[in-house]
Amino acid sequence: MSRQYLQVMTIAGSDSDGSAGMQADMHTFFTRGVYGVSVLTACVAGNSYEIGARVTLPTDFIDKEFELIAKDYQVRAAKTGMLADATLIETVAKKYQLYDFGPLVVDPVIVTKHGNLLLEEEALESLKTKLLPLATVLTPNFYEAEKLTNRQLNTEADYVLAAQDLQAMGAKNILIKGEHTTGSTQETIKDYVLLESGHSFWLEAPFYKTERINGTGDSLSACIAAELAKGTSVEEAIRIAKKYVNRAIQKEIIVGHKYGPINHWATIGEIE
Ligand code: PXL
């Protein structure tokens, strides 16, 4: 008996240790029961300690990836991850609009949790003007939201204003991931969601003290894209994705010696 799988696309960089980037997206697509295709934009050489080198792929190659996927696969939703520079952002924005890949989740990857820059400073303007307006869902972390809005996020009211700014830039639904400082005593993390309808709410989750959180943001946005491909509403897709990463963080696995990946297996059969 043959079975059909919904197809979802990641437009992202490869992380050689498998914990983040395109690999985290693919793990997430697999565990969420959708088939992942990938437009690779860049490659990072790294392990659980460090990123040692990075390269970007030629734009004509990226164009070809888009073209060949569009010719053969029926992509129902997509997400972006590491786009590295303004040229890649513009290439991706142009190609995304040329084909029908369904709703787009934009994870505005700027810097890793450990301070490695994955987007050139000069590319911020392109991110704001070329990619943000295409976002069905935008998922900045606290730091990225500050960079994109030129605001400092100190209070809950600041998150609300930042989300409104991001919506004014053209992104339809906003999820700002709350701050958790290393070594802090906080017991929960609060994210803020502003939907296209104007409805907004906070999502609060336990803060687990672990260094094994590589790929959290990638997996969150990939999970939202997977759910959107299934026809789930944006609000429900965001709630499911939060449960997904919470579960994957809570059930720590030991892979690599330092900042290891989250546990995708722990989510199987657990998240509805
Ligand atoms: O998690 C952010 C991220 C995204 N994409 C790539 C990465 C990382 C973090 O290391 O390597 C390719």
Whether 69 maps to a domain, the answer reads yes
Q: What are the pLDDT digits (tens) for 139-160?
A: 999 999 999 999 999 999 999 9
Cα of 161 vs its chain's centroid, Å: 22
Query: Pick from 133, 115, 62, 124: which is nearest to 91 by CA?
Result: 62
Whether 272 maps to a domain, the answer reads no
- 209 alpha carbon to ligand 1 midpoint, in Å? 21
Number of folded domains in the chain? 1
What pLDDT, on the 0 to 100 scale, is given for residue 1?
65
What pLDDT, on the 0 to 100 scale, is given for residue 82?
97
Residue 218 CA, closest ligand 1 atom number: 1
Cα of 12 vs its chain's centroid, Å: 9
- 40 alpha carbon to ligand 1 midpoint, in Å? 12
From the CB of 41, is ligand 1 less than 6 Å away?
Answer: no
- Integer Cα distance of 106 and 77 in angstroms: 11
CB atoms near residue 138 (< 10 Å): 29
Cα of 247 vs its chain's centroid, Å: 17
What pLDDT, on the 0 to 100 scale, is given for residue 31?
98
Whether 232 maps to a domain, the answer reads yes
Whether 74 maps to a domain, the answer reads yes
What pLDDT, on the 0 to 100 scale, is given for residue 185?
67
The torsion angles phi and psi of 183, rounded to 5 degrees, stand at 80, 0
Whether 1 maps to a domain, the answer reads no
Whether 2 maps to a domain, the answer reads no
Whether 122 maps to a domain, the answer reads yes
> Which range of residues forms the domain containing residue 152?
7-267
- Mean pLDDT per block of 10 residues along the chain (272 residues) reads 90 97 98 98 95 96 98 98 97 98 97 86 96 98 96 95 98 93 72 98 91 94 98 98 96 92 96 84
> What residue spans of 80-174 are helical by DSSP H?
86-98, 124-126, 142-149, 156-168
What pLDDT, on the 0 to 100 scale, is given for residue 3?
86
What's the CATH number where 222 sits? 3.40.1190.20
From the CB of 218, is ligand 1 less than 6 Å away?
Answer: yes
